[in-house]
């Protein structure tokens, strides 16, 4: 069963953070923010929805970076409850999918609570002033279906 994300007021400022990334660096919001905006996505390694869209997510993040939009992913799952989401498995996931953005660990979930994220993937899109302009799923703002090429590639990837 899919879980809906919480309502977060549009115009809300992006919560600040300082978290360890899978590449060993520590990242803050300032480090990942883009000149024209920023996307923060909450995801985890074991989520079937994440697995279904990871190719698109990576492609879209690369395109957004070319448009001066920053991008970062946050995993906040408890590794004791979800061993697939341990930091070591996050590192493997980042390598396996060649993530072109920081993938950081919110181990005790204070940032997840600050953002109001409750599901994966859960997207937060901010403008250049780091004010929330979009919150929801990957395709919630779509006005047309994904291309047939995309559907075909997703089906053959499984």
Model pLDDT, residue 6: 57
The sign of the dihedral angle between the CA atoms of 59, 42, 44, 6 is: negative
pLDDT in tens, 61-110: 999 999 999 999 999 998 999 999 999 999 999 999 999 999 999 999 99
Q: Please give the Cα distance from 102 to 89 (Å, whole number).
A: 15
The sign of the dihedral angle between the CA atoms of 27, 56, 126, 119 is: negative
- Poorest-pLDDT segment among 12-21, 37-46, 146-155: 146-155
Identify whether the C-beta of residue 130 lies closer than 8 Å to the C-beta of residue 18: no
CATH number for the domain running over 18-157? 3.40.30.10
Model pLDDT, residue 140: 56
The domain spans of the chain are 18-157
């Amino acid at each position: 069963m899919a879980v809906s994300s919480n309502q977060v007021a549009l115009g809300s400022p992006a919560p600040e953070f300082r978290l360890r990334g899978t590449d060993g660096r520590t990242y803050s919001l300032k480090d990942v923010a883009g000149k024209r905006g920023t996307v923060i996505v909450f995801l985890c390694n074991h989520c079937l929805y994440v697995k279904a869209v990871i190719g698109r997510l990576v492609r879209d993040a690369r395109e957004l970076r070319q448009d001066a939009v920053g991008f970062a992913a946050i995993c906040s799952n408890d590794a004791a409850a979800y061993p697939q989401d341990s930091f070591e498995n996050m590192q493997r996931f980042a390598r396996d999918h060649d993530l072109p953005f920081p993938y950081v660990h919110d181990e005790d979930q204070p940032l997840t609570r600050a953002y109001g994220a409750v599901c994966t993937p859960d997207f937060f899109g901010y403008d250049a002033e780091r004010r929330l302009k979009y919150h929801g799923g990957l395709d919630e703002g779509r006005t047309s279906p994904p291309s047939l090429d995309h559907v075909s590639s997703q089906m053959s990837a499984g």
